[in-house]
Every structure is written in C-alpha cells, then in structure tokens.
Amino acid sequence: MEWSVYIVLCSDNSLYTGISTDVQRRFLQHQAGKGAKYFRRCQPSRIVFAEAGHSRGSAAQREAEIKRMARSDKLKLIAGIE
C-alpha cells in the first residue's frame, strides 16, 4: 500500500503535516471535524503539499522530519525550493 505525506494550510495560516493512503479522503475528514484534534482550533483550508510513494514507515519518518522543520523551511518545501 502506498502512503503519502501531506501539508494542509489552515484558516489561522498554520501548517498541519500528516500521512495517509488517500490524501483527499483524509482532507475531507479533517474538514468534517473527524480525526486530528488539531482542527478543533482552526479549519483546514487546502492541501498545499503532497509527497507520494512512501511505505508506512518511510511516510512516518518523513512526517516527523517535516514537523521538525522551521516554518520557513516548510514554506520552501511547499514552493519546491528545497
């Protein structure tokens, strides 16, 4: 099964990073208020980054790597500058 890492831009301009086998389905779940507690404080606006082709383990590792990045580095990743 192929996993993806994704970043969602939120209504408060924050960035949420997650993993899923179906990014669009997961985004719709976030919009419906299901799943991540993070979205209790803000609304997900749109998917701004997705990276496919991972195993479950490599997706989790990449997610952790992205979460450790500074916001400026995440914005570079989103822009494709990284």
What are the sequence ranges of the domains in the chain? 3-79
Model confidence pLDDT, tens digit, residues 33-54: 887 889 988 999 999 999 999 9
Percent above pLDDT 90 for the chain: 88
The CATH T-level fold of domain 3-79 is GIY-YIG endonuclease (3.40.1440)
- Give the count of beta carbons closer than 10 Å to the beta carbon of residue 51: 17
Alpha carbons within 13 A on the beta-carbon side of 42 = 13
- From the number of C-beta atoms within 10 Å of its C-beta (0-12, 13-18, 19+), residue 26 rates as buried
Residue 32 has pLDDT above 80, yes or no: yes
Give me the pLDDT at residue 82, please: 62
Going by C-alpha positions, the residue among 45, 66, 49, 53 that lies closest to residue 21 is: 53
Average pLDDT value for the chain: 95
Distance CA 42, CA 5 (A): 20
- Across residues 9-15, what is the average pLDDT? 96
